[in-house]
Structure 1
Amino acid sequence: MASSLLELTANIVSSHASVTEMSGDELLQELQKVHVALQKLEVESGEISEKPEAKGPAISLKKAFQPDQITCMVCGKSGMKTLARHIAQVHGMKPSEYRKQFSIPSSQALTAKNFSEARRRMAQEKGLADNLAKARAVRAAKMLAKGGEKGKPERSKGAPRA
């Protein structure tokens, strides 16, 4: 535990020193002050854990996934359209970890339903699926013309197998 407490102290003081000019003595005093303050916090709150313990959800699964917004089940923050960025930045979790922690089925999107529908409609209106199919056909024709590997076009990531 002492090494992580020292690391925290070093990070805090180095951040402070990067914006404030300090002499060597001032830097040492600052290190001591911050270290003592962190030790007091550690004693008051018990052991500082490296990873937060898995807690129960802040909100029920049904309430978390509303048609117009989605709520984080870890912290209870609501009003978001998508959840992946929030859980990565704030909680340091991957979507698969989040799903596992709260038993969310993989078929459940981590986005608000209305948001997903709007994106789907927009993609259909712009013909994005058609454009992708055309681009793949052009690429396949170019590969065949160049005499690619045994006449087979290269398979791009996400392309269906032939």
Structure 2
Amino acid sequence: MAPTLLELTASIVSSHAAVSELSTEELVQEIQKIYSTLQQLEGGVAEAGQAEEQKAPAMTLKKAFQPDQVCCMICGKGGMKTLTRHLAQVHNMKPGEYRKQFGIPSSQPLTAKKFSEARKKMAQERGLADNLAKARAVRAAKLKEKKAAVAEKPAKAPRKKKA
């Protein structure tokens, strides 16, 4: 049989009181605090998730997206180059949900501007755009050859069904 909230509260408070001295007032406050916390936990994670979604942003858009770093508008953590991994690991949220929650336009990247520029410059230096264009041209040529080969094959005569 599962213990009730009152039994759990009594157990937690008695364990805490055994290792530290508490006045009568502190003991009553501790009981109330533990009991209300257990009630909230029993109420479910869904309620906590809904309350978290409706929280106000920790900072403004301008402060969150700086040239050399980005900050999370949920928890206020900063110093990151990109937000995507942080959102997934810490807040279990996709970038689209984050944008919707805080009204961030889709034209606003979730990365630091200097970081994006450095990656773009590196890709240009390595010739990645040219390599991609060449690969696409080769693939298109192969598809064209394949379609031409299929068109050249004579169509098979349909078989007659036996009655």
Q: 1:68 to 1:150 in 2, by over 3 A?
A: farther
- Aligned-pair identity in percent equals 60
SS in 2 for 1:109: coil
SS in 2 for 1:87: helix
Does 2:100 align with 1:100?
Answer: yes
Under a length normalisation based on structure 2, what TM-score does the superposition of the two structures give? 0.63
Give the corresponding residue for 1:25. Answer: none
Matched residue pairs, number?
A: 121
Aligned counterpart in structure 1 of residue 8 of structure 2, from 36, 42, 52 = 36
1:36 corresponds to which letter in structure 2? Answer: L
The 5-angstrom pairing of residues 45-64 of structure 1 reads 47-50=43-46, 51-53=49-51, 54-64=54-64
| Cα pair 1:58 1:74 within 8 Å, conserved | yes
Give the corresponding residue for 1:123. Answer: 123
How much has 1:62 moved relative to structure 2? 0.7
What is the alpha-carbon distance in structure 1 between the residues aligned to residue 101 and residue 77 of structure 2? 17
Does 2:72 align with 1:76?
Answer: no
What is the alpha-carbon distance in structure 2 between the residues aligned to residue 120 and residue 146 of structure 1? 35
Gaps of 5+ in 2: 13-33, 153-163
CA deviation map 1:87-138 (0-9, x unaligned): 1111111111111111111100000000000011111111111101101111
Name the larger-Rg structure. 2
How much has 1:52 moved relative to structure 2? 4.0
What is the alpha-carbon distance in structure 2 between the residues aligned to residue 127 and residue 100 of structure 1? 35
Q: 1:150 to 1:98 in 2, by over 3 A?
A: farther
How much has 1:71 moved relative to structure 2? 0.3
How much has 1:48 moved relative to structure 2? 4.3
Give the corresponding residue for 2:19. Answer: none
What is the alpha-carbon distance in structure 1 between the residues aligned to residue 102 and residue 151 of structure 2? 48
What is the alpha-carbon distance in structure 2 between the residues aligned to residue 108 and residue 83 of structure 1? 12
